[in-house]
Structure 1
Amino acid sequence: MDILLTNEEIRVLGCLMEKEMATPEYYPLSINALINACNQKSNRDPVTSYSEGMVASALEGLRKKKLAMESSGSRVARYAQTFSNEYTLKRSEGAVMCILFVRGPQTMGEIRSRTDRLYPFASLEEVQVTISNLERVGLVIKLERQPGRKEHRYAHLLAGEQDIETHEDITQLDAAQKSPDDEDNLNLLKDEITMLREELSDLKKEFEAFKAQFG
């Protein structure tokens, strides 16, 4: 890949792609919503605790690489990803890249099950065709099978060659603690709360401006 991203940039990009496909009503994302998305405990490997400065820096890096942009027409600054357009990705391809960004290397079966809210793959054969297309353009690589594993895993190449042996799968505990429906509902609630807080802040500012002008 000509473009190499930091871990923070990859997480931010993956979160923008995820929210665009899974909850378009809350997209583009404000910086606060994006921080919540990056640090959520479900559907993330590894789980992170990024600060506002780290997310803002990652956004700036993505903007310089023409992979993200600030959206116009909103009182609060909101951000959108342009990676999908830059690489002319189909929705199915974007779903695969998104999961690899936010969860790390995955088997074909894991990709199919974990992209369900983003794109409903009809079969493993469709997943294979999609992955093959991404391999062909240099976005994805098939990793060597690990000892004790039956299936190969696939990884994105936007951070360069990845050594699968250094990547620990720490999402199993999270998956056991909450059902998928609980995770989705909790994340949706967080998105709604963040948006309501931002709208309330905007209304307060407008009211103060009104009082200053006519009070």
Structure 2
Amino acid sequence: MTLSTHALPQPSTLSAVEARVLGTLMEKARTVPDSYPLTLNSLLLGCNQKTSREPLMELDEAQVATALDTLKPLGLVREVSGGRTARYEHNAQRAIGVPEQSAVLLGLLMLRGPQTAGELRLNTERWYKFADISSVEGFLEELQERPAEKGGPLVIKLARTPGTREQRWAHLLCGPVDETQAGPITAARTPGGEVTGNTVERLAQLEAEVAQLRVTVQRLCAELGMSPPGQP
């Protein structure tokens, strides 16, 4: 099915390599804006980096170039003219037809695979700061309930795996998800330092408690005519 410039059609559009290339461009636009748009070599390094990627890939220039050639006519990627070296930027949000927050979630799911709403909130910190987990869940639910006239669902909530409390979400840009291949989350840190699994749940709870305490302190300081801690 052909991709329009207004909305992504039914899933099963992108290959795993195309999703990695698109997700990398989306990430670098937000995390290294001074180096963006990316050259082919920078994009290759981003696709193959050993942190914040699931699964890890060992792509070559030809594979990345082929993916770009596929993504450009779909309106998802643009080649930027100027200078001796061609550079590339994504156009995902407009091409897919989703708000900024939804595009951020899709990009992260393309790069790191299925994640819980708590993991997504923490891992998107450098991309976009969601107010809370409920906000993340709200945008995920919108993506899951996307009507057929706009192309249908773009994410799916996976069944809960044994030993876990939270369900994970996966994108559908590469077609239906094989849940048997999506391993359970673990309460650990990855080599890149990202927090996963039940640790995320505990952190989210602590964040909520700290936020509530901060509000209480600010209210008490206001009532007493004092400056909140950390302010002159």
Question: What is the match of residue 103 of structure 2?
Answer: 94
Matches within 5 A, 1:11-30: 11-30=20-39
Larger Cα-atom Rg: 2
Which residue does 1:44 correspond to in 2?
A: 53
Distance 1:172 1:7, change over 3 A: farther
2:163 pairs with 1:148: yes
Name the SS of the counterpart of 2:67 in structure 1: helix
For 1:29 and 1:73, the matched residues in 2 are separated by: 13
**Percentage of matched positions with identical amino acids:** 39
Structure with the bigger percentage of helix: 1
TM-score (norm 1): 0.77
- 2: CA distance, partners of 1:2 / 1:35: 25
Matched residues, number: 179
Where in structure 1 are there 5+ consecutive unaligned residues? Answer: 181-215
TM-score under structure 2 length normalisation: 0.71
1:159 aligns to what SS in structure 2? coil
Is 2:28–2:36's contact at 8 Å kept on the other side of the alignment?
yes
- Return the alpha-carbon distance in structure 2 between the equivalents of residues 154 and 179 of structure 1: 21
Change (3 A) 1:178 1:21: closer
**Partner Cα distance (1:30, 1:147) in 2:** 43
**AA aligned opposite 1:94:** A
Q: Which residue of structure 2 lines up, in the alignment, with residue 160 of structure 1? A: 175
Distance 1:103 1:179, change over 3 A: closer
1:57-115 Cα offsets, whole Å, 9 max, x none, are 11111113221111122321001111211123322112111110001111111100100
Aligned partners of 2:51 and 2:184: how far apart in 1?
13
Residues in 1 aligned to 2:101 and 2:128: alpha-carbon distance in whole angstroms:
6
Aligned partners of 2:118, 2:144: CA distance in 1, in Å?
17
CA distance in 1 between partners of 2:109 and 2:42 (Å):
21
For the 8 Å contact 2:11–2:154, the answer to whether it is kept is: no
- By relative contact order (CA 8 Å, sep 6+), the higher-ranking structure is 1
Asked whether the 8 Å contact 1:68–1:82 carries over to 2, the reply is: yes
Q: After TM superposition, which residue ranges in structure 1, 4 or more long, deviate above 6 angstroms?
A: 169-173
For the 8 Å contact 1:45–1:170, the answer to whether it is kept is: no
Where does structure 2 lack aligned partners over 5 or more consecutive residues? 1-9, 147-152, 195-232
* Residue type of the alignment partner of 1:148: G
Q: In angstroms, what is the RMSD of aligned CA positions?
A: 2.0
**1:59 equivalent in alignment to 2:74:** no
Q: Find 1:124's aligned residue among 122, 133, 136.
A: 133
Larger mean CA deviation between 68-77 and 113-122 belongs to 68-77
For 2:57 and 2:184, the matched residues in 1 are separated by 14
Q: What is the rounded CA distance, in whole Å, between the counterparts of 1:178 and 1:64 in structure 2?
A: 34
Superposition deviation, residue 168 in structure 1: 3.8
Q: How much has 1:130 moved relative to structure 2? A: 1.2
CA shift in 2, pair 1:136/1:20, >3 Å: same
Partner of 1:5: 14
Distance (Å, rounded) in 2 between the aligned partners of 1:27 and 1:172:
34
Contact 2:26 2:90 in 1 (8 A): yes
